[in-house]
Structure 1
Amino acid sequence: MPVNISLQDLSLWQQTAFSAAILERMLPNYQMFSQAANFGNFKILRNQLDLVWQLLEQGQLKINFAAQLEKLEDEIPDVDKFDFFGVHPALDTCMALGSLLQGMQDKDEETINNVGLLSQSSVSYYLGILLASEQEKLQAIVINEQDIEDHPLMQWEVETQQELFMSVKISKENKQTCKQLKEMALSEGMSNLGIEI
């Protein structure tokens, strides 16, 4: 993986806000899969992420994490039951949201840190498929890790995560910062896979 941003210097609030912003970029991938596959309820994931933002903004909001994680369980697609690419980023989105909710419940930085890694992994997997089909046309055989790291989409993913990280690190823990992070995450109008929202 090209970058591993360490969240240990951030407060739990900052870690959560950073990860929620990354999830904003992943969520459209689930929505598109859900529509194409006629599977899952995107609104459940959207509502769960909204709850996270509300907790960050208001502080005193109580979330029943166990109930939310159980709800999310039903929306996780089984990759063996769908034969098109969209199932993989949809699964990554569910795993990332689950990591965030679990990490918030346990106040565990490592679990929350999975969100950024899953987003990068989604991009990496997508590029692997994309570059493989391009090289098939060119009759080339190998794709190496460097090809994926150098691809503009992966560079955009890494830069976006770094920007969000720097922004959350220097900002106050308030509603204004939440708004700013959401705007930054969605400023290009695309999911982390470069798909228009």
Structure 2
Amino acid sequence: MVNSDSLQEKLAPIELRISALNRWQKTLFCICLLQRSSPNFQLFAENTDPEHAEALSKLLNLFWESQLVPSSRINFAVQHERFELVIPNPDDYDFFGVYPALDCCVLAELCFSCIGDFQGDEASNALQTSLASVLSFLELQNPEFDEHDAQHLNAPLLVDELEFANSLLLMLANHDKGSKQAAELRTLAYNQGVSNIGICLEDD
């Protein structure tokens, strides 16, 4: 969880807007955060087990299909069992990349929860998970980074994270349920292939 009062002040209105979302909107919010963070997992997988990267890509496509094609019939219980096999154990690795990859897996678990046993707090937890990835990466880049220091709240990655959440919420508020709206959200979440911590695996 984030403990900075200054950062909490920035998060408070975002959290309030998230709480007002319906289930469909919260599900899309989680899928969008997963989409945006997916390069973090894919980079990790490419350096450990490339087949796992493909597994996440396939799962993302199925999450989007469930929103883009109302008539789709996907057994997410089976997909969940398969995905659990690719979740990394951080104790097995000695480099930082496992942590944003694991955060990406947490986002996937929240997507499963939204589609299956919906609890209601998935979208809020997804925001906190994605934000934690950003803060951890900033601390890695700069050991002096202090989330309690208002000056450090201007870090570009952190600003981008909050702006992305606000843009996503604005689109969700202005759209009704439908495949066209989900497609627009997918484009936003793809973010030109750049993750929430600035990773991009595509060639220019």
Q: TM-score, normalised by structure 2?
A: 0.84
Match of 1:50 among 47, 51, 61: 61
Pairing 1:127–2:138 present: yes
The separation in 2 between residues aligned to 1:80 and 1:39, in whole angstroms, is 19
Matched with 2:15 is 5
TM-score, normalised by the number of residues in structure 1? 0.87
Counterpart position of 2:164: 160
Alignment of 1:65 onto 2:76: yes
Amino acid in structure 2 at the alignment position of 1:145: H
Gaps of 5+ in 2: none
Match for 2:153 among 143, 149, 152?
149
1:42 is paired with a residue whose SS is helix
CA contact under 8 A between 2:193 and 2:200: conserved in structure 1? yes
Q: In the TM superposition, what is the alpha-carbon distance from 1:191 to its structure 2 partner?
A: 0.7
Listed one character per residue, the Cα deviations across residues 21-79 of structure 1 (whole Å, up to 9, x for unaligned) are 11111111100000112366112222222112111122232332322221111111111
Show structure 1 runs of 5+ residues with no match.
Answer: 136-141
For residues 132-156 of structure 1, what are the alpha-carbon distances to aligned partners after superposition, in whole Å with 9 as ceiling and x for unaligned?
Answer: 1xx5xxxxxx734335533111110
The AA in structure 2 aligned to 1:91 is L
| Distance across 2 between alignment mates of 1:145 and 1:48 | 36
- Residue 24 in structure 1 maps to residue 35 in structure 2: yes
Q: Which of the numbers 81, 86, 90 marks the counterpart of 2:101?
A: 90
Does residue 175 of structure 2 align to residue 171 of structure 1? yes
CA 1:119/1:148 → structure 2, altered by over 3 Å: closer, same or farther?
A: farther
Identity %: 28
